[in-house]
Structure 1
Amino acid sequence: MEKRELISPEYINLSVSAQCKLIGLQRSSYYFKPKGESLVNQRLMKAIDRKFLECPFYGVERMTDYLRGLGYHVGVKRIRRLYRLMNLRTIYPKRNLSKAKATDYKYPYLLKGLKIECPNHVWQADITYIPMFRGFMYMFAIIDVYSRRIVGWSISNTMSMEWCREILLDTIRTEGRPEIFNTDQGSQFTSPHFVNSLLGSGIKVSMDGKGRALDNVFIERFWRSLKQEYVYLNPPNGGMDLYRGVKTYVEFYNGQRKHTGTGFIPNDLFFESKAS
């Protein structure tokens, strides 16, 4: 029996993260079975994902028109549902931006003009859709903006707040805490439980403005690299294949891949030189 089979998400007295820790399993390696849609919808979602990486300003109507041009007989209603399912947020400003839900926590964007001078100064986080050979899953990742290191990540077939919160707390335990934590205004990140976990750790909360393309740019660049350099080239066949592939890619991204922002020094070496 694999260790993953010992985990019970339904057990309310012990979180999945705590269960993983108890049996010596990395939280990032625990996931549920991939989610499925019809084969047609899976093809549509893969086509949408590729195009959205190139054109994040494509709303539902423009994407529908693009897909029709590829030969798909689709309507706006179907594409709007798939956008929600894939957690896609178009970057153009929406109407009624001043009207926020009273139950949501909204915080200002703190990174404008900020000089980021050391590791753990600013972390950014986001969730993305990951297409697979059959079905799809979601990935949550946290990047250290200064060193460009992926400091925490996990894969699941849900986008729950609790999942994101567990990875956040695990990452704080292993990497220390950042001064500022930046996300978009997704429901997972505006949840009182998620926000209070940050504030309770003495972390400043920063949130992107709606329709802002560059506010969370570093994690968006990572998604683009991950998908173009791994997922699209080698579509994972199952959750275990996806986990192993992402783990290998993150190790490459942190330890070998070079970035202009770090002076073409691999992220791990850059981090060690600045942390010492």
Structure 2
Amino acid sequence: MSATDEKQRKPRRPRREFTAEYKAGAVKLVLEEGKSIPQAARDLDLTESALRLWVEQTKTDRGEGRPGALATGEREELSRLRKENRELRLEREIPKKCGGLLREGDEVKFAFIDAKKALFPVASLCRHLEVSRSGYYAWAKRSESERKKSDRALGVEVLAVHQESRGRYGAPRVHAELKARGRRVARKRVARLMRQAGLRARTRRRFVRTTDSAHGHPVAPNSLARNFQPGQPDRAWVGDITYVWTEEGWLYLAVLLDLFSRKVVGWAMGERIDRGLVLSALDMALLGGPAPQLHHSDRGSQYASEDYRQLLEAHGIGCSMSRKGNCWDNAVAESFFSTLKLELVYITRFKTREAAKQSLFEYIEVFYNRKR
């Protein structure tokens, strides 16, 4: 087959539509998080041309010129902010404050530095872990036993998986990921290496029920009946709302998940927990693909409102609601929020709602939907 024929047979990438909130989150990955356009595009499964267009449009809207056109003071401020961002990334990468590595011996610290030296300067790593550079280089020159060499190589892989999960995976999930990659290793060995490197799983917090079903809107029967495995995508979506605390006050998050893939197909964030929030999440989901046969949620007034029911009906989507006071009828959505809070919200202090929005966007679109 010729290259031309192969190109002709290759399916075209389907055209996707995005909400303004999604575009803003993608642009912030480049302009505020410091990612390159190619990297951010890969993380979000976007075309580079589309993301570059959004970035340039945002710069134009902000009235930003080329870097060379900045005043001296502005360039210095930009340089300072970039340096601070690098330091913050370094602090996140090096688990200093958790005390894990600081309580271990120098051998463990040196092994960690050896695994990270391709990403950060050795001097910075040694400073953060309170060891000397001369000590590290002396350690690096020593001959190692085959077992230690094997542990060190495996430790690099364990660390890589843990970092890819953004520090959220414990030993069972790290072991499962290594196994999926074809690495045959005992789970206890993975746990030992993680313990030595100060890498550990998070602890869960208790569940808090927030749904208020005391309203006068019609309530749909539970048509889903806990059938959480529909067999095909776009058969059923489940939705729910949660809240995230910031130093500016509460931020509310509404999501819709496809039951088959467990992908977040629609989401919206805002300061108010009203029907506009869930309508925005539904709008995003409908832009992204075909409408499902069934929509399931709790009995909250937002989902039972006339506007929401009319939008479902306009797209031929059946409505299903959990039984009163039964969170298990919407267990998939509840499980997603539990994981989100365990892996992000409970371990992060958000100064502003905008900071929380960006972290949630990156968790959902970069980590959860693409890697989880």
Using the size of structure 1 for normalisation, the TM-score is 0.58
Correspondence 1:228 to 2:363:
no
Q: Classify the secondary structure of the residue corresponding to 1:119.
A: coil
Give the secondary-structure state (helix, strand or coil) at the position aligned to 2:281.
helix
Q: Where do residues 152-231 of structure 1 align in structure 2 (5 Å cutoff)?
A: 152-231=266-345
Q: Which residue of 2 aligns with 1:254?
A: 369
- Using the alignment, how far apart are the partners of 2:244 and 2:295 within structure 1? 23
Q: Tell me how far apart the structure 1 counterparts of residues 349 and 333 of structure 2 sit (CA, whole Å).
A: 21
- How does 1:1-276 map onto structure 2 within 5 Å? 25-26=20-21, 29=24, 54-56=206-208, 88-89=210-211, 103-112=216-225, 114=227, 116-250=230-364, 251-257=366-372
**1:164/1:172 CA distance change after superposition, 3 Å:** same
Q: Report the equivalent of 1:265.
A: none
Q: How far has the Cα of 1:53 moved from its partner?
A: 5.3
Verify the 8 A CA contact 2:237 2:258 in the aligned structure 1.
yes
Give me the identity figure in percent. 26
Distance 2:260 2:361 in 1: 21
3-state secondary structure, aligned to 2:237: strand
Structure with larger Rg: 2
Deviations 1:27-85 (A, max 9, x none): 6859xxxxxxxxxxxxxxxxxxxxx952447xxxxxxxxxxxxxxxxxxxxxxxxxxxx
**Contact conserved, 2:219 with 2:299, CA < 8 A, in 1?**
yes
Alpha-carbon spacing, 1:206–1:29, altered in 2? closer, same or farther (3 Å)? farther
CA contact (8 A) 1:29 1:155 kept: no
Amino acid at match of 1:119: P
Does the C-alpha gap of structure 1 residues 136 and 113 become closer, same or farther in structure 2, counting only changes over 3 Å?
closer
Aligned-pair distance for 1:178?
A: 1.1
Output the CA distance in 1 between the equivalents of 2:349 and 2:307. 35
- Do the aligned residues in 2 keep the contact of 1:133 with 1:236 (CA within 8 Å)? yes
Contact 2:322 2:329 in 1 (8 A): yes
Question: 2 CA distance for matches of 1:56 and 1:170?
Answer: 27
SS of the residue aligned with 1:185?
coil
Alpha-carbon contact 2:266-2:283 (below 8 Å) kept:
no
Q: Give the Å deviation of 1:144.
A: 0.8
Does the residue aligned with 1:125 lie in a helix, a strand or coil?
strand
CA contact (8 A) 2:226 2:329 kept: no
CA distance in 2, matches of 1:89, 1:188: 10
Whole-Å separation in 2 of the counterparts to 1:179 and 1:242: 33
Return the offset for 1:200. Answer: 1.2
Structure 2 portions without partners, runs of 5+: 1-17, 26-203
Q: CA RMSD in A?
A: 2.7
Number of the residue aligned with 2:15: none
Q: Distance in 2 between matches of 1:192 and 1:255?
A: 34
Q: Which amino acid is 1:154 matched to?
A: A
Between the two proteins, the alignment pairs up a number of residues equal to: 176
Aligned partner of 1:243: which letter? K
SS in 1 for 2:329: coil
The answer to whether the Cα contact below 8 Å between 1:105 and 1:195 also exists between their aligned partners in 2 is no
Q: What amino acid is the match of 1:25?
A: A
Q: Which moved more, 1:191-200 or 1:125-134?
A: 125-134
CA distance in 2, matches of 1:165, 1:128: 15
Give the drift of 1:241: 1.1
1-structure distance, mates of 2:357, 2:226 = 36
Bigger RCO (CA 8 Å, 6+ sep)? 1
> Could you list the runs of 5+ residues in structure 1 that have no partner in the other structure?
1-20, 31-51, 58-87, 95-99, 258-276
